[in-house]
Structure 1
């Protein structure tokens, strides 16, 4: 998936649990956008790690499909929320980060299938193996 994401032009992230109505009010939108994005459950997904690291262009949308910004405009918020190094979010090769750093990025992530917890980390550690899903 990581290599597939790297070849993609853009990823549109629909944050179904973030309402753009929380952005209304007297404060500048950019200041209120960051806390709203930070609370999204999307950040706990296993595959989110690859989506944030592999893709150069990521655009975020609220549940009303209003723009919440792109990867560059919320870069520090992404770093603060996920613990992923800014250089990794900017596209630096994974080999410059220690195994411990990369494992910390994966900590606390949830996947629907047990095997996805491992599969979502393969390219982060430059490991290739065929994916074999069990039937349930």
Structure 2
């Protein structure tokens, strides 16, 4: 498992014993930073919006006491099909085992002092397939505006989030949904989307406790 050190933004690979870490939940935008770019960032890479997002996540994590953080854009070597497959199959457990998940709402830009969890339902984060497991798996989840203003936690705002997500409050908080029916779990993802058609299945593997090799095709059939 690759982790990003929050003080100097260097990548470190761990086997076996994993240090405590935070983890980022976000939506991909333009100029995201790859694993290879993060290993040896140039000045051009450092000017990209994706790098600034990584910097901000690391800074917030460090402020909260975490020496390491995990960010999917740069902590997975997507040039390796084997590593990508392992990462996607491990994703649910990585979010579950994190100390804190930071949800970054890049398109929520309230005026100063007006940030409210009641107003975030329109955010793109609620429409993406991958973010479903990212809010369900971790015990501790914090929400942030576009300028990294903290808005509170999943537990504090469970009732509001339950309405946005159409997920029962208790299941949202306790993370115990193994006995839920397939139909109910599928309903949670019914209005979500992924960039690649295959990912709509892969992003749900953790919810159903499934492990399988990945296979991407060029065209949706």
Q: TM-score under structure 2 normalisation?
A: 0.54
Gaps of 5+ in 1: 25-31
1:7 to 97, 105, 130: 97
Indicate conservation of the 8 Å contact 1:94/1:125, yes or no. no
The answer as to whether partners of 1:38 and 1:77 remain within 8 angstroms in 2 is no
The root-mean-square deviation of aligned C-alpha atoms, in Å, is 1.9
**Equivalent-residue separation in structure 2 for 1:134 and 1:11 (angstroms):** 31
1:19 counterpart SS class: coil
Distance 1:84 1:38 in 2: 14
Question: Which residue is 2:106 aligned to?
Answer: 16
In the other structure, the counterpart of 1:107 is 190
Unaligned runs of 5+ residues in structure 2 are 1-90
Partner in structure 2 of residue 53 of structure 1: 136
Contact 1:10 1:58 in 2 (8 A): yes
Asked if 2 retains the 8 angstrom alpha-carbon contact of 1:15 and 1:42, the reply is: yes
Q: How far has the Cα of 1:131 moved from its partner? A: 2.5
Which residue of the partner structure matches residue 69 of structure 2? none
> Matched residue of 2:156: which SS?
coil
TM-score if structure 1 supplies the norm length? 0.84
Query: CA offsets per residue over residues 37-85 of structure 1, 9 Å max, x none?
Result: 2221110010111011101111111111111111111111111001112
Question: Relative to structure 2, which stretch is displaced further, 89-98 or 118-127?
Answer: 89-98
| CA deviation after TM superposition for structure 1 residue 94, in Å | 2.3
Q: Which residue of 2 aligns with 1:76?
A: 159
Could you say which structure has the larger radius of gyration? 2
Looking at secondary structure, tell me which structure has more helix per residue.
Answer: 1
Q: Sort the Cα spacing of 1:43 and 1:71 in 2 relative to 1 into closer, same or farther, 3 A.
A: same
Question: What's the counterpart of residue 67 of structure 1?
Answer: 150
Aligned residue in 2 for 1:43: 126
Instruction: Give the 3 Å change call, closer, same or farther, for CA 20–54 of structure 1 in structure 2.
Output: same
Displacement of 1:91 after TM fit? 2.7
If asked which structure has higher relative contact order (CA below 8 Å, sep 6+), I would say: 1
